[in-house]
Structure 1
Amino acid sequence: MNRLTTASGDFALTRFPEDPRDQLRAWDAADEYLLEHLAALELDPAATVVVVGDRWGALATALGARRPVQITDSFLGQQATRANLARAGVGEGDVRLLTTLDAVPERIDVLVVRVPKSLALLEDQLQRLAPSLHADTVVVGGGMVKEIHTSTLKLFEQIVGPTRTSLAVKKARLIFTTPDLEIAQSGSSWPRRYVLDADAGAGAGLTAVNHAGIFCADRLDIGTRFLLKHLPARSGRGRLLDLGCGNGIVGTAAAARNPDAEALFVDESFAAVASAEETFRENLGAQRKAEFLVGDGTSSIPADSVDLVLNNPPFHTHQSITDQSARRMFGGSKAVLRSGGELFVVGNRHLGYHQMLRRIFGNCEVVAGDPKFVVLRAEKKG
């Protein structure tokens, strides 16, 4: 646990889930820069403050006295916010927690945007928020210098209004935008769809539905394409889990191959789970049995209840490269699999997931590989 010192107080903050081995802070220099700038402004105490993209709740917690609205796509970020607010003595009712799919407040007086990695997510959120701005709305964005590009600034310009940037401080930069109410607002263009081509293995011909911000929302990523070519051939009743489902195309393809199977989709992204549900329903219909959960990996899934887990684990959290997510996903998969159940994983060859799987499952075999990717299988024994 680390402490963030601001003009409004000193706050003990952690990420979620809390891990004593995790030395990554729950904020960075961009959060500090944003809070320093806001503290210097003479804001109306009654102003409606909306914070978008607050990664672990540092902004919402430090601004808790202003009763902000937080908008995030991350379940883990939302859970971290709840814990950090409680630790700071801020009542959960004092901060309104929304997802990126929820309706935004009708009037916004102060808009604080933590620039996301996904340009599509930024575009979607600015399009959703712009109609709630007025001529005097204070709009300030922030991010590390490496996160802010010419394309980032163009989006603020095109959707909100005239935009300028600050000097860099501790490799962080601010974005200042003045709302231009003359800009025509067309609304968000998301979700979007694409049809998988004939080279997509078990996914060929299926339609993928993608909300803004999910991984590879405008095309099929090459890792998923490789996994789709090597999905296990299963039949009969059983329960399959698409863990870290993204747009759900892997679980949908597996379910399409086995009409008797029940499918379960889990991701920590609200947009991903919404995408997975729309992908599944568009391809397999409204009557096919499936479950869609936003959550922390397998934490809400009963032990010994799944026959097949399909997983393409992330190897980064924001700008930090880590195997923590993969390790937790693999351990969670073993817990929820029935005896004889299988985990199929695709990953970059250099990540060495086979070693981790052997430690957790006691076994691992290579199903397929190419110079870049490998599909691995581990079985729960006993």
Structure 2
Amino acid sequence: MNEVLNIADQTLILHRHPRRKNETFQAWDSADEYLINHFNDSELGQYITDDGQLLIINDGFGALSCYFKDFERTVVSDSFLSVGSIKLNMQRNRCGPESLLIQDSLQSLPTNAKVVLIKVPKTLSFLEYQLQQLSAVISDDTIVVAAGKVDAIHKSTLALFEKYIGTTKTSLAKKKSRLIFSLVDQREIAETEIATTWDIERQGWTIHNHANVFSRNHLDIGGRYLMDNLPEGDFTKVIDLGCGNGVVGMAAAEAYPNAQITFIDESYMAVDSARINMLKNFEEERSDNTRFVVNNGLVGFKGRSYDLILCNPPFHQQHTITDHIAWSMFNDAHFCLAVNGELVIVGNRHLDYQDKLERIFGNCELIAENKKFVILHAVKME
């Protein structure tokens, strides 16, 4: 797997994080290369004046952050893993942190961006949120260029750039990627509430979902299946791992009223949605027994400390389909569970999580199944 990006006048060593022994995916793609080459060919650096800066949105693993190290820049991401990759790749390539500000997607964008480079995200609603935020802080002389894989750029994608930024056109495709150019048009745009709110009637809950949270318009059927199959027991320390909007952890808070519930996700928007949902739907005193953590799984958590971990693991990272995040979650869970502690997961039938859990825990029980999902239960034996 290639870890060296030779582009324009620079050579960068870039790794995806968390690193795997036999990594098969690069830490950059052709859309990163297209953006960098266009920036140089069009001499966009000349527009970044002393009182202005470069704004980079959705840098995946740090290729853009590292390449543009000579510019004052702000990098915006909703991914804890991406932020960690950017920081580590900056160190690896000896890029000083002085001219770089990294912020999450819930923070306000800088008002002095002269050039904006965007990697098109997977979720259309998240793109709309970002473009809406961007439209409020740019001016007519701001240059906006986006890039993405050809199969990720649709008419609906371009329509959002037209709506929030201005007249939009695309480039020719190169290496299966395409650029998007938008001329800033400072027209009045009615602000739209992109976060969604919907009800779960059975529990009487109102659910808030930020723009980049999985299953944002309705209850995820996998999550519902897990909620309906929580184990019986007197659990005191419970984790909702990969919590999304927090509904599984909320069901645990209902089922185990004396337990401390920890909500963990690598998305800043997901963890904030879970926090809002607990605040809105539970009595105030329950907040003393809940924690909300943006993190790479359970990295840094104390071993042998929890008696129940609930998990609806993702099978993709950004645009890449992969099972390594699920593997990592299961290994983390085994480390963090106390002896006789339990892991309960929901997964698509075809993902073969049962074999993984057998290999890690030495045991795995199928406790429920339907045409699409299985609920699996493993116990920490030693």
Task: Give the alignment's TM-score, normalised by structure 2.
Answer: 0.95
Partner of 2:212: 213
Q: State whether residues 130 and 185 of structure 1, in contact with CA within 8 Å, keep that contact through their aligned partners in structure 2.
A: no
Matched residue SS, 2:378: strand
CA distance in 2, matches of 1:126, 1:286: 35
Partner of 2:349: 349
Q: State whether residues 16 and 26 of structure 2, in contact with CA within 8 Å, keep that contact through their aligned partners in structure 1.
A: yes
Superposed, 1:189-228 pairs within 5 Å as: 189-198=193-202, 204-228=203-227
Superposed, 1:249-264 pairs within 5 Å as: 249-264=247-262
Question: Sequence identity of aligned pairs in percent?
Answer: 39
Matched residue SS, 2:140: strand
CA distance in 1, matches of 2:269, 2:233: 29
Partner of 1:69: 74
Name the stretch that deviates more: 132-141 or 313-322. 313-322
Superposed, 1:102-251 pairs within 5 Å as: 102-186=107-191, 189-198=193-202, 204-235=203-234, 238-251=236-249
CA, structure 1 residues 33+175, in 2 after alignment: closer, same or farther (shift >3 Å)?
Answer: same
Give a deviation string over 1:212-231, Cα, whole Å, max 9, x none: 11111111122112111111
CA distance in 2, matches of 1:147, 1:285: 42
Q: State whether residues 361 and 380 of structure 1, in contact with CA within 8 Å, keep that contact through their aligned partners in structure 2.
A: yes
CA distance in 2, matches of 1:286, 1:67: 43
Q: State whether residues 167 and 173 of structure 1, in contact with CA within 8 Å, keep that contact through their aligned partners in structure 2.
A: yes
Partner of 1:306: 306
Matched residue SS, 2:296: coil
Partner of 2:316: 316
Give a deviation string over 1:243-294, Cα, whole Å, max 9, x none: 0110011001111122101100111111111111111111113331111111
CA distance in 1, matches of 2:204, 2:355: 35
Deviation at 1:185, TM superposition (A): 4.8
Deviation at 1:36, TM superposition (A): 0.6
CA distance in 2, matches of 1:301, 1:91: 29
Name the stretch that deviates more: 318-327 or 26-35. 318-327
CA distance in 2, matches of 1:26, 1:197: 43
For structure 2, the residue ranges without an aligned partner over 5 or more in a row are none
CA distance in 2, matches of 1:84, 1:52: 17
Letter in 1 for 2:291: E
Matched residue SS, 2:25: coil
CA distance in 2, matches of 1:36, 1:189: 36
CA, structure 1 residues 54+41, in 2 after alignment: closer, same or farther (shift >3 Å)?
Answer: same
CA distance in 1, matches of 2:232, 2:280: 22
CA, structure 1 residues 221+24, in 2 after alignment: closer, same or farther (shift >3 Å)?
Answer: same
Matched residue SS, 1:300: coil
Letter in 1 for 2:17: F
Deviation at 1:148, TM superposition (A): 0.5
Q: State whether residues 236 and 256 of structure 2, in contact with CA within 8 Å, keep that contact through their aligned partners in structure 1.
A: no
Matched residue SS, 1:208: strand
- Aligned pair count? 375
Partner of 2:268: 270
Q: 1:95 aligns with which of 76, 92, 100?
A: 100
RMSD (Å) for aligned C-alpha atoms: 1.3
